[in-house]
């Protein structure tokens, strides 16, 4: 029986300490080795999504540095589309290379994806999505002086970053096309960076200055393409309770109600694990199907024996 799986890649699957194109391509070549394990199972329709927070922030800075009247910087939604293209290219190349090396017969395609959001979403009044590089406190002050319209905040004790609005996805314009291609057996890279955020009114489609959380978009995409499972890949093997405390405990399986109780306790940091848990819960609640949170390097163990954090209805 064919199984359709949507996989959301964390930033660690793409970006290392070196932000060069070569380094990111090298990271994705390693990522592809893990992902092709899904295809080796046989009878799997794979749809991949990915983040773009560092890349979109870096490209915005490049745009501003070179901006002039004759060569103006592009708006944030357009820059999001640019990074969808670059990461989609690199990941498709890496997947093709790994697929061929294993003797598999699999087509790969990247779909530029638009995600519909609500123009009245409260997120536009309270930016929360980090993009771009980390700054020291001194660097952050300089950035604020240079860009007084930006919101710069401390990011989980790791430094300071620019944050932008992150509205929740309502729908995905290319969902039907993605589902059709998946049914044809094409491995897809779609909704990169959460998709290009757009507001839709009648026949008018307008891009907006925002970056959508890729995990929430992955959950919405998985729902709309009728995926059998959502897999969210991050830096750790399990979601944990009481993280970094003597009472720390791995969560290997939990219901939506049990996870919601932990969210309500404040167990998960807003800037890291909380959106992943909430996105996984939203998919399970909408579909009744399972969602999994685990690490990229744990894929083989997950495929073999279900190892990871499994959230059920």
**Residue 134 DSSP SS3:** strand
Assess whether 53 carries a catalytic annotation: no
Assign residue 91 a region: left if phi > 0, alpha if psi is -120 to 50, beta otherwise?
A: alpha
Please confirm, yes or no, whether 107 is among the known catalytic residues: no
CA-closest candidate to residue 216, choices 124, 156, 262, 285: 285
β-strand pairing of 229-234 with 291-295: parallel
Would you call 192 a catalytic residue per the annotation? Answer: no
Q: Kind and range of the H or E element at 262?
A: helix 256-264
How does DSSP assign 47-89, residue by residue? EEEE--HHHHHHHHHHHHHT--SSSPPPPHHHHHHHHHHHHHH
Exactly one of 10, 80, 129, 168 is catalytic; which is it?
129
Tokens of 201: 């009114």
Rounded CA separation 197/76 (Å): 9
**12 catalytic residue (yes or no):** yes
276 is a catalytic site residue? yes
Of 51, 58, 88, 214, the active-site residue reads 214
- Catalytic member of 51, 195, 276, 308: 276
Parallel, antiparallel or unpaired: strands 151-154 and 160-164: antiparallel
- Catalytic pick from 3, 11, 159, 274? 11
Q: Determine which one of 3, 12, 207, 274 is catalytic.
A: 12
Kindly report the number of other CB atoms within 10 A of residue 104's CB atom.
13
Residues annotated as catalytic are: 11-12, 129, 214, 276
């Amino acid at each position: 029986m064919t199984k359709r799986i949507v996989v959301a890649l964390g930033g660690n699957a793409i970006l290392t300490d070196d932000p060069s194109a070569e380094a990111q391509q090298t990271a994705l070549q390693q990522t592809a080795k893990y992902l092709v394990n899904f295809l080796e199972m046989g009878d799997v329709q794979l749809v991949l999504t990915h983040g773009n927070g560092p890349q979109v922030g870096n490209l915005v800075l490049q745009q501003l540095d070179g901006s002039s009247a004759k060569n103006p910087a592009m708006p944030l939604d357009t820059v999001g589309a640019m990074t969808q293209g670059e990461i989609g290219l690199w990941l498709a190349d890496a997947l093709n290379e790994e697929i061929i090396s294993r003797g598999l017969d699999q087509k790969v395609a990247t779909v530029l994806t638009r995600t519909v959001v609500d123009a009245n979403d409260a997120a536009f009044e309270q930016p929360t999505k980090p993009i771009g590089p980390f700054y020291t406190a001194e660097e952050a002050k300089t950035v604020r002086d240079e860009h007084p319209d930006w919101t710069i905040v401390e990011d989980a004790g790791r430094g300071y970053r620019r944050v932008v609005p992150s509205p929740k996805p309502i729908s995905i314009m290319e969902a039907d096309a993605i589902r059709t291609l998946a049914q044809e057996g094409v491995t897809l890279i779609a909704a990169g960076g959460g998709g290009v955020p757009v507001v839709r009114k009648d026949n008018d489609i307008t891009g907006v200055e925002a970056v959508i959380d890729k995990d929430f978009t992955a959950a919405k995409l998985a729902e709309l393409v009728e995926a059998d499972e959502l897999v969210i890949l991050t830096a750790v093997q399990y979601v944990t309770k009481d993280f970094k405390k003597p009472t720390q405990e791995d969560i290997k399986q939990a219901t939506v109600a049990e996870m919601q109780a932990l969210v309500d306790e404040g167990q998960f940091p807003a800037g890291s694990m909380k959106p992943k848990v909430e996105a996984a819960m939203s998919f399970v609640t909408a579909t009744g199907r399972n969602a999994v949170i685990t690490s990229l390097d744990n894929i083989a163990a997950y495929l073999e024996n279900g190892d990871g954090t499994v959230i059920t209805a």
